[in-house]
């Protein structure tokens, strides 16, 4: 089938229909394995039957076409089963980050008016604290017995229906609900498969949180639509990941730069600890691999087979990195020692993949060519070709839920404005910076400074502030910092101090207490790790906006 014909077929389908077709084609193959390969396994036939039974139970509890259902659970096979069951019942999945604070979960549930949440035992308590929400246990619902419902029962969803509502904080500090349809996601899945070429022999090790669009699309839906096996890692610790790779014989893993950075340093430490002769041999082979790479030969696959085996990574053929920028030196290292290590680029609003390096077309430091069904244009490019990255694709979101202003700012004349800066070179997209103020943690999570600024200002102790990211010395990601101008008049009244000659120690303590209070009310990855207190007003533009670039 041609790409065009394949896309047309997907446009007339839904995610459950695509999954059930894959399950029928791979019925006896293993779809899921829990606990790094040691836990429960489901064949595709068993997973499809479980999806249908759970969908039947959801419909009995009032889920119908367009009903939003929260999903709050740890990574496990049943997360994917529940996800597909909600879709098969005609509903919309609202993945919930289990690290959010109660207030943050409450806002999310209130905004989309959640009435039902599927929750595992581990998250039963926070789920039951959500007002007006009925909790549907994740465990055991599809185990109730009885015949599997006829496949015809699972046709409630239409391609244009919203399949997933992903919440991501906006630059105003108010979380936004990204609406992704069945058509959006299937368009992305088809193009990912064409670019990276998986088949039913592949085993994916799933390590990233499933509520992230990256892992949901690339680590769950992509392998399921191809007949691959998904194995859930026991933890994010390097030791357990390596054990899980060895036990499951995983061939593919998606991750964020922080994870790959740790693996890189671990391998480098092993090389540094080797006898002088072996270190010299490594350097010679590494140079030879680099020279061969220049003429299109992947010599490292053969040269470094023993090293990959000793590191416990001999089964891996492909790593895919996303969520944050990866240093080119690390991408180069993994490729030259014999892995296909591809860096990609995307955002939730694009389902999420926009571009990715291909196994036969890798350029270190780039995020690869756009997917075949994605158009990328550089808007307002300067003399060096750098401008804002804009995207046109059938995978683009239909907009933010109940937020026409933000949708209008995101989408213009069919193009999605990413807020990121980049340029094209050799047919590859290169990210050069961010137009937005977003801070990216070492784990690839986005942190929006305005959300934290809003809470600091609400305390009454802060006159003005700016929150920004600062690169960590020798590490990936950014730490969250703040510059704060105290509201001395308010503090004088509260603390009984002279605003003209304030007690500096007491002012500092009050501000630090305020920062700590904000930190206690947000997810751990968003917390401010340090602040600077200034007496003078922050510099502003003529429109009275803080000149943020002066303080980063």
| pLDDT more than 70, % of the chain | 92
**Cα–Cα distance for residue pair 366/377, rounded to 1 Å:** 16
Average pLDDT of the chain? 90
The per-residue pLDDT for 540 is 72
Mean pLDDT of 425-453: 81
Is residue 59 very low, low, confident or very high in pLDDT (cuts 50, 70, 90)? very high
Whether residue 115 is predicted with pLDDT greater than 80 in this model: the reply is yes
Mean pLDDT of 416-443: 86
Q: Which residues, 6+ apart, have CB-to-CB distance to 330 below 8 Å? A: 257, 260, 261, 264
Task: Tell me the three-class secondary structure of 437-479, residue by residue.
Answer: CCEECCCCCEECHHHHHHHHHHCCCEEEEEEEEEECCCCCCEE
Whether residue 252 is predicted with pLDDT greater than 90 in this model: the reply is yes
Per-residue pLDDT tens digits for 469-517: 988 776 777 899 999 999 888 888 888 888 888 899 999 999 999 999 9
Is residue 542 very low, low, confident or very high in pLDDT (cuts 50, 70, 90)? very low
Whether 343 and 363 have beta carbons less than 8 Å apart is answered as no
CA dist 147 → 30, 91, 156 (Å): 21, 22, 20
Per-residue pLDDT tens digits for 185-239: 999 999 999 999 899 999 999 999 999 999 999 999 999 999 999 999 999 888 8
Whether residue 98 is predicted with pLDDT greater than 70 in this model: the reply is yes
Whether residue 170 is predicted with pLDDT greater than 50 in this model: the reply is no
185 closest CA partner among 59, 351, 312: 351
Whether 500 and 494 have beta carbons less than 8 Å apart is answered as no
Could you tell me where the beta strands, DSSP code E, fall in 138-227? 162-169, 175-181, 203-206
């Amino acid at each position: 089938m041609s790409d065009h014909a394949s896309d047309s077929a997907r446009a007339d389908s839904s995610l459950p229909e695509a999954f059930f077709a894959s399950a029928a084609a791979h019925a006896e193959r293993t779809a899921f394995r829990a606990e790094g390969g040691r836990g429960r396994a489901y064949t595709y036939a068993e997973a499809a039957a479980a999806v249908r039974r759970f969908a039947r139970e959801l419909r009995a509890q009032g889920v119908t076409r367009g009903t939003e259902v929260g999903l709050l659970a740890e990574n496990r096979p049943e997360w994917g089963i529940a996800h597909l069951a909600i879709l098969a019942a005609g509903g919309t999945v609202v993945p919930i980050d289990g690290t959010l604070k109660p207030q943050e979960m409450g806002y999310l549930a209130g905004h989309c008016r959640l009435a039902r949440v599927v929750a595992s035992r581990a998250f039963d308590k926070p789920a039951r604290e959500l007002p007006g929400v009925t909790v549907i246990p994740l465990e055991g619902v599809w185990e109730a017995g009885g015949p599997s419902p006829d496949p015809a029962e699972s046709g409630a969803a239409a391609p244009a229906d919203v399949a997933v509502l992903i919440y991501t904080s906006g630059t105003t500090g108010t979380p936004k609900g990204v609406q992704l349809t069945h058509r959006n996601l299937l368009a992305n899945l088809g193009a990912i498969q064409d670019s990276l070429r998986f088949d039913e022999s592949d085993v994916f090790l799933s390590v990233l949180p499933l509520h992230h669009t990256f892992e949901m699309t690339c680590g769950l839906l992509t392998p399921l639509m191809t007949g691959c096996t998904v194995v859930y890692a026991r933890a994010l610790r390097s030791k357990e990941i390596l054990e899980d790779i060895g036990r499951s014989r995983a061939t593919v893993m998606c991750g964020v730069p922080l994870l790959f950075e740790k693996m890189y340093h671990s391998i480098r430490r092993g090389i540094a600890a080797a006898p002088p002769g072996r270190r010299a041999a490594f350097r010679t082979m590494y140079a030879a691999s680099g020279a061969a790479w220049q003429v299109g030969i992947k010599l490292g696959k053969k040269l470094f087979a023993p090293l990959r085996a000793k590191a416990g990574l001999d089964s891996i053929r492909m790593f895919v990195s996303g969520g944050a920028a990866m240093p080119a030196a690390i991408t180069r290292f993994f490729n030259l020692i014999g892995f296909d290590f591809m860096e990609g680029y995307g955002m939730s609003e694009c389902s999420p993949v926009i571009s990715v390096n291909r196994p036969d077309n890798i350029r270190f430091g780039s995020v690869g060519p756009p997917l075949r069904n994605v158009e990328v244009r550089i808007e307002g490019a300067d003399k060096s070709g750098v401008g804002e990255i804009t995207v046109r694709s059938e995978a683009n979101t239909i907009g933010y839920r109940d937020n026409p202003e933000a949708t209008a700012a995101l989408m213009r004349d069919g193009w999605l404005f990413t807020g990121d800066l980049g340029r094209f070179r050799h047919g590859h997209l290169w990210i050069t910076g961010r137009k937005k103020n977003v801070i990216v943690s070492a784990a690839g999570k986005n942190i929006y400074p305005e959300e934290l600024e809003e809470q600091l200002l609400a305390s009454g102790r802060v006159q003005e502030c700016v929150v920004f990211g600062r690169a960590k010395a020798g590490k990936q990601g950014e730490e969250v910092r703040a510059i704060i101008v105290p509201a001395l008049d308010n503090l004088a009244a509260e603390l009984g101090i002279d605003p003209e000659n304030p007690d500096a120690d007491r002012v500092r303590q009050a501000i630090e207490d305020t920062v700590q209070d904000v930190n206690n009310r947000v997810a751990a990855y968003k917390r401010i790790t340090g602040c600077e207190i200034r007496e003078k007003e922050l510099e502003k533009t003529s429109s009275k906006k803080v000149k943020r670039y002066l303080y980063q």
